[in-house]
Amino acid sequence: MVKPTKIRYQILFLIFVNVVINYMDRSNLAVAASEISKEFKFSPVQMGLIFSAFSWTYLLFQIPGGILVNRFSPRVLYAFSLITWSFATVAQGFARGFVTLFGLRMATGAFEAPAFPINNRVVSNWFPDNERASAIAVYTSGQFLGLAFLMPVLSKIQLHVGWKGLFVVTGLIGILWGIIWYIFYRDPLKHKKVNEAELKHIESGGGLLDGKSTEDTEKKKFKWADLKEVLSHRKLWGIYIGQFAVNSTLWFFLTWFPKYLVDYRGLDFIKSGYWASVPYLAAFTGVLCSGFLSDYLIKKGVSAAKARKRPIIIGLLTSVFILGANYVNTPGLIIFFMSLSFFGVGFASITWIFVSSLAPKHLINITGGVFNFIGQLSGIIVPIVIGLLASGGNFAPALIFVALLGFLGACSYLFLVGNVERIKSNGNMVSPEKQIDG
């Protein structure tokens, strides 16, 4: 009997690197922020606006990006997305002020918009159902593990070539990787090294070899009544608010965190790069612990609903420990509380599972769209509010704000979501499912 090849794991590695580069080009501004604000004399409010610029277009282009994913092959579209957002990153090294930098960050967000929908399509094509959750966890971990190791590297690059050189170097890396992706990626049926046994393994397990599902071929017309429906249920608002809360702490670390360490806590720039990597490792650990704990609880007979919900509530409550940084002065203790908070964010990162377990079956896609939209709003709102709160030179109110959002998210899962039961279109509930797709 011919053994299946393992080409899908090589494809997963390619996606992992894509995610690392994706988040590298989101966070390089955070590393450069102190030098940029000094050179252009930006106020905290202006920096907050620049930090938010990426999310304006990233959010706006989510739906158009999803449409493009259905029309173009991942090989072509991902290469285009990588190369164009990387060119925008290079151009940021030549920005001359607030307007050009703001505009180029918006361009980066627009061109990155299709990335995660493409990731989802590629994994759906290459992995059977029973391997898909693990595959998603692996590439998602790239945002934390990659940044944990990149923060010191990015700091050293800036030390040697300046903040302008930092954008040029990171952008050129993305352009090169976009070419590599185009050379090596193929869909399952077009890949020369995959054998028939692996294709059968993928297809028999529910993998979409041709990239098309029944849902793709039987698309329903959009109805405003459907949007109104998914905005009218208390349980769904519970997960919307929870996602906003999870992403709020994430966006603090992706934007203000390095500047906070250097400008507000007086850490040496290079040392801050090493210190800044620790919370990302903590978040990465949180992601893994959350998955293992959830699976362990299910094996012990705990309902899937509780096994998925508890890590989210615990994680969001743990994120509130970011407040502790307001009451300590030594770098080690500051990083301890920051790491504990970011561990909580990683621990709470399985929130997407409740879209498929709560939404009416025929409204899962639109529920997911609203869920993602409200979650991504944090990337616009949180950096701006932090800039306003820190404009007086005191960062403590900003950390209080982030902590309050985490607490609000935990309360939303406790009091709004309540029992995990699928919503019927008429507003009634059905019994909890024996197993939630994880």
CA distances (Å), origin 237, targets 230, 351, 398, 412: 9, 13, 25, 8
Whole-structure pTM value: 0.81
User: Is the pLDDT assigned to residue 432 strictly greater than 50?
Assistant: no
Residue 270, pLDDT score: 66
pLDDT in tens, 307-317: 778 889 999 99
Q: Which domains does the chain have, with CATH numbers?
A: 1-206 (1.20.1250.20), 225-438 (1.20.1250.20)
User: Is the pLDDT assigned to residue 129 strictly greater than 80?
Assistant: no
Contacts of 116 (CB under 8 A, 6+ apart): none
d(CA 397, CA 389): 6
pLDDT in tens, 79-98: 999 999 999 999 999 999 99
User: Is the pLDDT assigned to residue 431 strictly greater than 70?
Assistant: no
CA distances (Å), origin 27, targets 24, 73, 238, 256: 5, 28, 29, 10
d(CA 254, CA 28): 9
d(CA 9, CA 168): 31
User: Is the pLDDT assigned to residue 74 strictly greater than 80?
Assistant: yes
Q: Determine contact, residues 82/181, Cβ cutoff 8 Å.
A: yes
Find the mean pLDDT for residues 226-249.
Answer: 91
Confidence of residue 332 (pLDDT cuts 50, 70, 90): very high
Residue for token digits 């896609």?
365
Confidence of residue 105 (pLDDT cuts 50, 70, 90): very high
Residue 133, pLDDT score: 67
Contacts of residues 84-89 at CB distance under 8 Å and 24 or more positions apart, as own/partner, are: 84/111, 85/25, 85/111, 85/112, 85/174, 86/21, 86/25, 86/170, 86/171, 86/172, 86/173, 86/174, 86/175, 86/177, 86/178, 87/171, 87/175, 88/171, 89/25, 89/28, 89/167, 89/170, 89/171, 89/174
Give the dihedral of Cα atoms 86, 88, 92, 93; nearest 10 deg: 50
Q: Determine contact, residues 429/300, Cβ cutoff 8 Å.
A: no
Higher pLDDT, 348 or 359: 348
Find the mean pLDDT for residues 5-9.
Answer: 93
Residue for token digits 């009997």?
1
pLDDT in tens, 383-416: 999 999 999 899 999 999 999 999 999 999 999 9
pLDDT in tens, 169-190: 999 999 999 999 999 999 999 9
d(CA 392, CA 215): 52
Higher pLDDT, 141 or 438: 141
Largest CA distance in the chain: 71
CA angle 256, 251, 401 (to 5 degrees): 75
CA–chain centroid gap for 119, Å, is 12
Q: Six-digit token pair at 245? A: 């809360």
With pLDDT > 70 as the criterion, what percentage of the chain qualifies? Answer: 92
